Amino acid sequence: MLWTVSLCLLLAVSSSGVPLDRYSTKGQHKVLLISFDGFRWDYDRDVDTPNLDRMAKDGVKARYVTPPYLTITSPTHFTLLTGRYIENHGVIHNMWFNITTSEKLPYYATQFKNEWWDNGTLPIWITAQRQGLRAGSLHFPGTQSTYQGETQTVKDVEPRFYDYKNETKWRENVEKVMGTWFSEMDLDFVSLYFGEPDGTGHKYGPDSPERREMVKQVDRTVGFIRSLAERNGLADSLNIIITADHGMSNVYRNGLVKEITLSRIPGFSFRDIAFHLVDFGPSGMLLPKEGMLDKVYNALKGANPHLHVFKKEEMPERLHFANNNRILPIILFSDPGYVINGFLPVQFNTGEHGFDNEEMDMKPFFRAVGPVFQKNLEVGPFETVNIYPLMCHILGIKPDPNDGHLDATKHMLISTTEDLRQDIKSNIFVGLAAVAGFLVVVFIALVSFNAFKKETNDRSSEKSLPPGGKEETHQTAL
């Protein structure tokens, strides 16, 4: 009887840690990953953003996040989808290029170059589908490609001349994702891309009133996304992560800075170069002709204090941008404020990105809300490679090899499966301790009861002793 009581007690205490695997069970929780291109971490500081503020209150806000280097659109988005640094996933630039033919394709055309994207690393869409989930993507870089012959359950690629700023189109896209993809088709994971405030940041600069207006449009859209999640009955299952690929920084010219133009650097000549990617903001790559590597390198190195020049093998390891055959032998980047021109200063953007990812201007924002996320929590910065393992964890799928760590993001969650397991372990410990305590109490009670009983019996036998009984007792004691 005693053991039955103890067992019941143990079970009652240890089961208080349920539900076990509450949100790591595959298919129970959905994830919507949203990118607002070029939304810098501090863009909500000089604009009224009631919807982003409410999202932070209802969920989690990171102070900022750190994108991988090179801080440009396609490479950093592919890091969000794979959790790998750019040298490891291979989408090293916005532009597809061929060093033999000197062909180059701009951002949009590169979306259709399958081999640029499908080069060994699987994005989360495919990994999720291989594990029984359903995934979709709207306008996210890399959406058009197939990966090892597979593609998303549903996808939507923007037309050639797409107006990335059109708010009516934004709302139609949100309606499609929420109403059709998540609600009707019951997809588990969707990535959704908006091309702003990047375009406005480039054109007018990050400090412009135009950029502030565009942030208001982003904010309205965030409110619309959340209201559609509610309206479609997704509030209990959908987790929304909103972030960006990079930030934005002011570019100076017109005498404010001494511009960097490679052709004007003494000892440097484009005749020594077999292939180049310059006139692309603050970053550049060069392939010198046979035997010209040192000549080119020595001419550029130290030519301008705001121009950083590296042979591929001397790139700082923290940038994770060297160990890939697609990366050219000489890598250049400039300090904020400057861009790298080739023959002539032909770049006219007011804002740019592509700088060192340590620059605060390159850091994107991060917000997350949903049933698995804590509420009203602000966390410190983390690298965007860590968003992939977080998403896999929420979806309950096994991640492919990646450069992120769940440890960097799991503190944003209400409670991870691991935590629950720990809880259960400690509950079992508490349960055992309680049982042990209970047994000790029972033991003491039994001993006391027996002693009391004995004493009572003794007393009653004393009272009923016949005359001379004392002697008998005395004798017995002997």
42 vs 400, which CB is nearer to Zn ion? 42
Residue type, 72: I
Nearest distance, CB of residue 251 and Zn ion, angstroms: 15
Q: Are strands 260-261 and 340-341 parallel, antiparallel or unpaired?
A: parallel
Stretch that binds Zn ion, among 18-26, 38-46, 126-134, 430-438 (CB under 5 A): 38-46
Residues contacting 127, CB < 8 A, separation 6+: 392, 397, 398, 399, 400
CB 260 within 8 A of CB 339: yes
Q: Which is nearer to Zn ion, 139 or 393 (CB)?
A: 139
361 touches Zn ion by CB under 5 A:
no
- The reply on whether position 245 binds Zn ion by CB under 5 A is yes
Least CB distance to Zn ion at residue 273 (A): 27
> What is the nearest approach in angstroms of Zn ion to the Cβ of residue 79?
12
**Cα angle for residues 86, 189, 245 (degrees, 5° grid):** 35
Number of residues that bind Zn ion (CB under 5 A): 5
Among residues 38 and 342, whose Cβ is nearest to Zn ion? Answer: 38
What type of residue is 459? Answer: R
Q: Identify which range of 71-79, 224-232, 273-281, 343-351 contacts Zn ion by CB under 5 A.
A: 71-79
User: Is 94:125 a contact under the CB 8 Å cutoff?
Assistant: no
Please, what is the minimum distance in Å from the beta carbon of residue 141 to Zn ion?
A: 8
CA separation for the pair 238, 434 (Å, rounded): 40
Site for Zn ion (CB under 5 A): which residue of 66, 73, 304, 386?
Answer: 73
Using CA atoms, how far apart are residues 48 and 43, in angstroms rounded to an integer? 10
Binding track, positions 194-213, relative to Zn ion; x by CB under 5 A: ----x---------------
Active-site annotation holder among 73, 82, 243, 416: 73
- The SS3 of residue 294 is helix
Q: Does 37 bind Zn ion (CB under 5 A)?
A: yes
Interface segment toward Zn ion; rule CB under 5 A; list 125-133, 242-250, 430-438, 465-473? 242-250
* Residue of 201, 297, 304 whose CA lies nearest to 257: 304
Contact between 119 and 82 under an 8 Å Cβ cutoff? The reply is no
Has 73 been annotated as catalytic?
A: yes
Residues in the chain: 478
- Site of interaction with Zn ion (CB under 5 A): 37-38, 73, 198, 245
Active-site annotation, residues: 73
